[in-house]
Amino acid sequence: DIVMTQSPDSLAVSLGERATINCKSSQSVLYSSNNKNYLAWYQQKPGQPPKLLIYWASTRESGVPDRFSGSGSGTDFTLTISSLQAEDVAVYYCQQYYSTPRGPTFGGGTKVEIK
Amino acid sequence: EVQLVESGGGLVKPGGSLRLSCAASGFTFSSYSMNWVRQAPGKGLEWVSSISSSSSYIYYADSVKGRFTISRDNAKNSLYLQMNSLRAEDTAVYYCARDRGVYSNDAFDIWGQGTVVTVSS
């Protein structure tokens, strides 16, 4: 199985400041035939289902504010919130969807709070 | 409105069975692969099972293989998860989720609100 490791487990950031979350996969999720990284980011607020933010490592889902951005390739990825807003308090998960038939796997999550 | 609505959760004794349903609306259900994902209390997300649009390809996590069965009825726009031989560690919120694309492995762009399964004596 591809293991996804997120860091840090939690972080506290002041309003308007940058938040950076890292995600590392145990093997590359870059598919050479189409040059796409099979990596997504989700946001989950308490009592709600996850919400897709980013797919193909850096493509923002429709309706997601542009303060959210994804970067990286191969095994190392980053989700950046450029200017943290109060409504961004949530747990963020990375997910690889490269692996079939073993199935997609999620990172352990990063809790983002206001400092 | 694109929507997924789960049902069928509840309290069941260890060793018991439960069948979850997920009703889809607002999109062409038969075109998309579908998934079940669960989240134990206070824990992260765990993929459970996937089924392709025509049911040709079905995959399970090792933790549920041999006990759970995923199926779909495209005529009824519905996804199912038959859960047998339930264990305490199966206690979780179960979400159905849609693959974003119609052709290959993809992220999950639409999620239901979830249904709670509790396995306890």
**Burial track B61-99 (b if 16+ CB lie within 10 A, e otherwise):** beebeeebbbebeeeebbbbbebeebeeebbbbbbbbbb
Q: Which of residues 29-68 of A touch B (CB under 8 A)?
A: 38, 40, 42, 44, 48-52, 55, 61
Q: Given this model, what pLDDT does residue B104 score?
A: 75
pLDDT tens per residue across span B4-48: 999 999 999 999 999 999 999 999 999 999 999 999 999 999 999
B60 touches chain A (CB under 8 A): yes
Residue type, B47: W
Residue type, A30: L
B60 vs A contacts (CB less than 8 Å) = 103
pLDDT tens per residue across span A68-90: 999 999 999 999 999 999 999 99
| Confidence band, pLDDT 50/70/90 cuts, at residue A101 | confident
Chain A nearest-CA distance from B39, in A, is 10
Q: Given this model, what pLDDT does residue B103 score?
A: 76
Say yes or no for a CB contact (<8 Å) between A109 and B44: yes
Q: Which of residues 28-57 of B touch A (CB under 8 A)?
A: 35, 44-47, 50, 57
Chain B nearest-CA distance from A41, in A, is 9
Q: Determine how many CB atoms are found less than 10 A away from the CB of residue A85.
A: 12
Say yes or no for a CB contact (<8 Å) between A50 and B45: yes
Chain B nearest-CA distance from A52, in A, is 6
Helical (H) or strand (E) element with A12: strand A10-13
| Confidence band, pLDDT 50/70/90 cuts, at residue B53 | very high
Contact between A115 and A12 (Cβ < 8 Å)? yes
Closest C-alpha to A30, from A77, A98, A95, A94: A98
Q: Given this model, what pLDDT does residue A54 score?
A: 98
Q: Given this model, what pLDDT does residue A102 score?
A: 80
Q: Which of A96-100, B62-66, B103-107, B109-113 has the lowest mean pLDDT?
A: B103-107
The H helix count followed by the E strand count for chain A is: 0, 13
Q: Given this model, what pLDDT does residue A99 score?
A: 87
